[in-house]
Structure 1
Amino acid sequence: MKALSYLILIPTDPIYVPTEEQAETGADALEALMPAAEEVTYDMFDDVRFIDGGQAFEAITCPLCGKDAQAWWHNAMDKAAEAEFEELECTATCCGGQTSLNALIYQPAAAFTRFTLVATNAGVGGLNETDLTAIGVPLGCKLRVVTQSI
């Protein structure tokens, strides 16, 4: 069976969902940048979802102090899951600061979202900032990238 790879574009605002027209235009822009992709699709969700690379995290780092956040991340995720990820704000016990689960630095990349734009087997590992802007403008948002391999 052939391995599948997904390049997933996610709005930096976890609750943002573009209009259907914006999503179609964004998908067209992604397809133009990745003509080798087997498929370009998008999904809109009723609730916020956690999208990860499909593998164990090498690191989860606090954006405030740069320390390892894995010790407190599981408890913060459990609490956020109880609220169906509608509240992502949390206290970073490593430094006592206020942050968001979506602001943590995940290695490999991960994020929370209600919208995904996906290129399947595109043959590339990522996009540069110019490409992300070219896709984000028609979507009406800034984007981040999560890659998955199955």
Structure 2
Amino acid sequence: MQFSGGNRKRLRLGGDQRNACYPHSLQFYLEPPSENISLIEFESLAIDRVKLLKTVENLGVSHVKGTEQYQSKLEAEIRRLKFSFRENVENEYERRRRDHISHFILRLAYCQSEDLRRWFIQQEMDLLRFRFSILPKDKIQSFLKDSHLHFEAVSMVL
């Protein structure tokens, strides 16, 4: 990741290229971002990601994870902070970009100690679980395929 002062260069991609960068609202963050961002955007993304992960932590303490109340409050906070969480939303590229870059900023910031790493990983796992749980079934299959995770669906046995 490179940082620049006032001369901010933004990656300009067409519709298909933008979708290729982030084909799903869910990411495994395998590749670090490579574009230049301003220091102001860097700070803003870091602060917003910390707010989101703190919300994940607080909701996990005050509500049962996976309940309707937990999910609706987490969804509202994700929407408020303009992060990606739903498939098929207009102008989703910028939200997915924010999600991608901010994850790596905090990954760097929270690698300083074992306690910070544990906290960061736990909140990111809870966020991933939430995002995975709201994916439509066809998008789950597409995500697993694109992530090179090969699973066979099993039927429910009663």
TM-score normalised by L of structure 2? 0.24
More helix by share: 2
Q: TM-score, normalised by structure 1?
A: 0.25
Identify which of structures 1 and 2 has the higher relative contact order when contacts are C-alpha pairs closer than 8 Å and 6+ apart.
Answer: 1
Identify, as 1 or 2, the structure richer in strand.
Answer: 1
Q: Please tell me whether Structure 1 or Structure 2 has the larger radius of gyration of its CA atoms.
A: 2
